[in-house]
Structure 1
């Protein structure tokens, strides 16, 4: 008699979600449906800030992620990045996402208008400006704020290479991807951006956020950042990750007069990049260090380093509410200082 082959039981995923629709989709896919900007044939590199979405979602859930388009008619989770206004169709669970009304669907009033055939389930947004955009559009949005990228030190703590007492790079400069001549990991800047010239001779490292689409590429980019004693950034995630890891940092601005500025919050939030203002307003931070440097003039790197050393103030904020709002029930203790990663973590990710 032929033995009946043993059928492996389906994995128990009941603890992975508190929301019935998302839970059902996770059960069907055996993965978290996630919308983020991933590498493509057109841009064969991952952008570090965008890649934080699958890294954090997988670290919390220990599930693989299934990539979802911004305009699909399916159910999905949107997390890291200013991507909320680009979502349309289907059901979108929002966790720590930014909404920029200026680049979304606009009404005659100049306000964001939620697209038709789209249901938003808002768990948390990046900050109060994103929440205001949603409230003005008639959408329910709780006052839960934060960027999931802030938790990266719990996943990858800052550990210097063996034998090194201090980071080797005096100043890391992280440009926004719009300042690159082409989307690539090499620091080839657009013509006319003289402020990035001449840094390598003075212990300065220009660190674009693009990297090879792999775990090794992601970790290599993170190690570049963590190998710096100070950070100056026009990249939003370059700035907040430096802050999260306790690396003295400054926002680099081309619109403010040259030199250091201590920008009070919330009074002068309008002087900041909208993403930066949105996030830090939600954290309760009272001021932010900004260094004015015209884009067309060479930077006095020594003066920038002195400004950071003199004016940077370490900052930490309580992001417990953000973690509690994660709509996929975590498979680890999110309050732990360190999140242990499964052996197959790299295989669970998509780039």
Structure 2
């Protein structure tokens, strides 16, 4: 199965990547039982894209879409996207999109797009049940890889961002970590379980939010713009909200995004942030059945749950490599 995903980079002898991007080959291998082959975003080979905002990166050939998102490299990521330019010599075959905002970009380009939405990260609890994970932290603060100052899975936020500073008396309660992981199935699962070990989550990472929502962990987007915290309508373009988060929540059936704001040069009152999440978060009710049914039939029948044999192979799967 040819698949394109954002693989990350090589640091010394260790390959590292973004947790959310690495979900793609793991989930596809687990739910189809088929080997996954990395294929470049610039390829004449027909390929699948499934997780991440990577539709706009594709060049050449036919590209099946199942759960991936689209954006515009020419617009701010904190507004509704309208500037997608269709790449030449490329044909998209949409089966399901992450959300309606990504679908709208393709429709403007002339495609007929089915109204099937959802991020495949919703399937993670079927792959890795989280009931046995013990809670260790009152709040997990997960930073996007752009907010770290080195490509190290152990790194937290860059020291220049004051909003991530944790006072001494809360260091056993608030944990700051990133979405960077080694390119290894076990390490990706361990980072998911890091999130599950938190009683609440505050994050600038879309896929940390997606993991939290999929497992029912109370959470909010951690925005760095000045303004009032609260619920923001997914289509309210007058308020800065990450386009990817708008798309994810709208595709999950939500009408708004829960946003907590602290500017990067200001300290965060973590007690106030936790109280905010407790007061405002409510679980999403997403049914993944239409997403499962929309999987491209030409590739493989998608199982509703991975079987034991597939799970055993995943323990040593080289799905994250060429």
Counterparts of 1:40 and 1:181, CA distance in 2: 15
Map of 1:79 onto structure 2:
50
Matched, 1:98 2:66: no
Is the contact made by 1:169 and 1:205 (CA closer than 8 Å) also made in structure 2? yes
Distance 1:224 1:62 in 2: 27
Deviation at 1:297, TM superposition (A): 0.7
Mapped contact 2:143–2:156 kept (Cα < 8 A): no
Structure 1 equivalent of residue 21 of structure 2: 50
Q: In the alignment, what sits opposite 1:125?
A: 97
What is the aligned counterpart of 1:173 among 128, 131, 141? Answer: 141
- DSSP 3-state at the match of 1:315: coil
1:214 Cα deviation (Å)?
A: 0.9
Unaligned runs of 5+ in 1: 1-31, 105-109
Which residue does 1:150 correspond to in 2? 122
d(CA) in 2 for partners of 1:79, 1:200: 41
Measured after TM superposition, the shift of residue 139 of structure 1 is: 2.4
> Cα distance 1:169–1:237, how it changes in 2: closer, same or farther (>3 A)?
same
Matched with 1:320 is 289
| Conserved 8 A contact 1:94-1:123 | yes
Of the candidates 58, 67, 83, which is equivalent to residue 111 of structure 1?
83
2:198 is the counterpart of 1:241: no
User: Partners in 2 of 1:100 and 1:213 — Cα distance?
Assistant: 25
Q: How far apart are 1:76 and its partner, in Å?
A: 0.8
Q: How does 1:253-272 map to 2 (within 5 A)?
A: 253-257=223-227, 260-267=229-236, 270-272=239-241
Query: Distance between the aligned counterparts of 1:102 and 1:140, measured in 2?
Result: 23
Aligned residues: 307
> Structure 1: how far apart are the matches of 2:165 and 2:267?
6
Q: CA deviation at 1:271?
A: 3.5
Displacement of 1:86 after TM fit? 0.3
Please give the TM-score of this superposition, normalised by the length of structure 2: 0.88
**Residues 160 and 227, structure 1, Cα contact 8 Å, conserved in 2:** no
What's 1:282 paired with? Answer: 251
Q: In the TM superposition, what whole-angstrom CA distance separates every residue of 1:288-336 from its partner, at most 9, and x where no partner exists?
A: 321111111111111111111111111121221111111133353x1x5
What does residue range 17-28 of structure 1 map to in structure 2 within 5 Å?
none
1:34 corresponds to 2:3: yes
Instruction: Give distance in 1, aligned partners of 2:282 and 2:118.
Output: 20
Question: 1:183 Cα shift?
Answer: 2.1
Alignment partner of 2:22: what SS? helix
Instruction: State the distance in 1 between where 2:206 and 2:167 align.
Output: 21
- Where structure 2 has 5 or more consecutive residues not aligned to the other structure, the ranges are 76-81
- In the alignment, the residues of structure 2 paired with residue 247 and residue 68 of structure 1 have an alpha-carbon distance, to the nearest angstrom, of 34
Distance 2:43 2:233 in 1: 41
Which residue of 2 is the match for residue 305 of structure 1?
274
In structure 2, what is the Cα distance between the partners aligned to 1:200 and 1:241? Answer: 28
277-286 or 69-78: bigger deviation: 277-286
